[in-house]
């Protein structure tokens, strides 16, 4: 056989083999892409292996799968406006890949799953949305407004007034205690004037104790009311207050006493 005949025979056998390989590769790729929910690329591969020049067994499967992919392929319709004006000069990107260079009202195929949509106008305005796209969901409407006011910041919770009320209560009780013991010790001290110099030690100590309690009560009352006034009128309100904590302390002596009220608020 001549060299020309051998070459012709080789081409005769090579052509079907090359055609089969060109159909088999997209046939296999399409199955993998479907499992990965990459339906757009799977459809491109199925269109290749469903061509008439592919073997019938491959062509038949690819045609069947092509119908299934089309049924499962979601799509969105983007409607954009700037205030009251509808706009179409919007470039649409999904996961950083361009889906459309402008809007014409047509449905746009999208792979299912959570997608990040980015919309860009010619004047540089941009919007971004994260959307969960469901398989088989057709013509889902995505509405945009490039002139929409930004969402208002969430209102801050009003500061709790509980520490103020607690301090007012402490102050009121302390001042009441001061009034009672101050009057009582004053009356008893007047009674001791008649025995001045030789009064029983127990009675003198009782008067001193009541005077001490009155002094301590007055100090606690004034500190508590001052702290309440600060919280109500002067404390910053930009942040929600932390939980208040208080520490009351006092020291006593035979001739008097001292009180302190410290806290974090």
Residue ranges covered by each domain of the chain? 3-72, 75-145, 162-264
Instruction: Please give the pLDDT value at position 5.
Output: 41
Q: What is the CATH T-level fold of the domain 75-145, as seen in this structure?
A: Immunoglobulin-like (2.60.40)
Tallying the residues shown for the chain, one arrives at: 265
Q: Which residues of the chain have pLDDT under 70?
A: 1-19, 149-159, 190-192, 196-197, 203, 234-265
Instruction: Please give the pLDDT value at position 135.
Output: 95
Instruction: Please give the pLDDT value at position 253.
Output: 53
Longest dimension (CA), the chain: 154
Residue whose C-alpha is closest to residue 231's, from 265, 183, 186: 265
Q: What is the pLDDT of residues 8-63, one digit of tens each?
A: 334 344 445 555 789 999 999 999 999 999 999 999 999 999 999 999 999 999 99
Cα–Cα distance between 79 and 236 in angstroms, integer?
46
Instruction: Please give the pLDDT value at position 150.
Output: 61
Instruction: Please give the pLDDT value at position 262.
Output: 58
Instruction: Please give the pLDDT value at position 49.
Output: 96
Instruction: Please give the pLDDT value at position 6.
Output: 39
DSSP assignments along 78-139, one per residue:
EEEEETTEEE--EEEEETTEEEESS--S--EE--SEEEEEEEEETTS-EEEEEEEEPTT--S
Alpha helices, DSSP H only, in the chain?
Answer: 3-35, 39-49, 56-72, 162-192, 201-229
For residues 62-99, one letter each, b for 16 or more C-beta atoms within 10 angstroms of the residue's C-beta and e for the rest, the string is: beebbeebeebbbebebebebeeeebeebbbbbeeeeb
Instruction: Please give the pLDDT value at position 182.
Output: 76
Give the predicted TM-score (pTM) of the model. Answer: 0.50
């Amino acid at each position: 056989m001549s060299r020309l005949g051998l070459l012709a025979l080789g081409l005769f056998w090579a052509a079907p083999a090359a055609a089969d390989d060109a159909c088999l590769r997209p046939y296999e790729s399409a199955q993998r892409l479907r499992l990965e929910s990459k339906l757009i690329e799977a459809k491109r591969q199925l269109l290749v292996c469903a061509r008439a020049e592919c073997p019938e067994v491959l062509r038949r499967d690819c045609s069947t799968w092509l119908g299934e992919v089309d049924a499962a392929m979601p799509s969105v319709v983007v409607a954009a406006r700037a205030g009251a004006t509808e706009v179409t000069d919007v470039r649409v990107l999904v996961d950083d890949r361009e889906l459309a260079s402008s809007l014409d009202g047509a449905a746009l195929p999208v792979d299912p799953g959570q997608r990040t949509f980015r919309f860009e106008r010619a004047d540089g305005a941009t919007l971004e949305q994260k959307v969960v796209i469901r398989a088989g969901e057709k013509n889902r409407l995505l509405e945009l407004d490039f002139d929409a006011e930004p969402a208002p910041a969430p209102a801050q919770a009003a500061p709790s007034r509980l520490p103020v009320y607690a301090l007012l209560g402490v102050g009121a009780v302390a001042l009441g205690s001061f009034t009672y013991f101050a009057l009582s010790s004053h009356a008893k001290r007047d009674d001791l004037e008649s025995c001045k110099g030789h009064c029983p030690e127990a009675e003198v100590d009782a008067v001193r104790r009541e005077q001490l309690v009155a002094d301590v009560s007055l100090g606690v009352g004034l500190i508590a009311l001052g702290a309440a006034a600060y919280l109500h009128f002067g404390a910053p309100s930009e942040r929600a207050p932390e939980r208040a904590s208080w520490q009351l302390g006092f020291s006593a002596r035979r001739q008097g006493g001292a009180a302190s009220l410290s806290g974090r608020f």
